[in-house]
């Protein structure tokens, strides 16, 4: 499975476990998709928390406390940072193409 897909599944798990309105599993598909998009766009926990709060408020017409959103945003960004570090560790290292042609 591609690393990006695994990362997205981690995001889905975190958001499903959070379940801010105590609904049945699968009740947040649209919100989760919007949150994943926001994770790709934002790196600041507070900005992400506010975006998450807004996404859920738009759908459910109820505001989730920012503290709860901030905790979840922190968990999501930790996964993002962890997976970004793994990608860099696996980045191919070798001679630049220009070094090969000059020899």
| Residue boundaries of the structural domains of the chain | 3-102
Instruction: Please state which architecture CATH assigns to domain 3-102.
Output: Orthogonal Bundle (1.10)
How far is the C-alpha of 11 from the C-alpha of 100, rounded, in Å?
Answer: 41
Integer angstrom CA distances of residue 45 from 30, 35, 67: 21, 13, 11
34 pLDDT above the threshold of 80? yes
Residue 2 has pLDDT above 70, yes or no: yes
Given pLDDT bands bounded at 50, 70 and 90, which one contains residue 59?
very high
Structure-token pair, residue 26:
């699968």
Q: What confidence score (pLDDT) does residue 103 get?
A: 46
Helix, strand, coil % in the chain, rounded to nearest 5: 75, 0, 25
- Across the range 11-38, mean pLDDT stands at 96
């Amino acid at each position: 499975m591609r690393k990006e897909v695994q990362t997205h599944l981690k995001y889905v798990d975190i958001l499903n476990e959070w379940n801010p309105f105590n609904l049945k599993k699968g009740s947040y598909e649209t919100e989760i998709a919007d949150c994943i998009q926001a994770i790709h766009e934002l790196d600041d926990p507070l900005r992400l928390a506010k975006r998450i709060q807004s996404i859920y408020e738009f759908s459910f017409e109820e505001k989730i406390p920012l503290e709860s959103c901030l905790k979840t945003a922190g968990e999501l960004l930790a996964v993002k940072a962890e997976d970004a570090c793994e990608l860099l560790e696996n980045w191919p290292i070798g001679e630049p193409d220009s070094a090969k042609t000059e020899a």
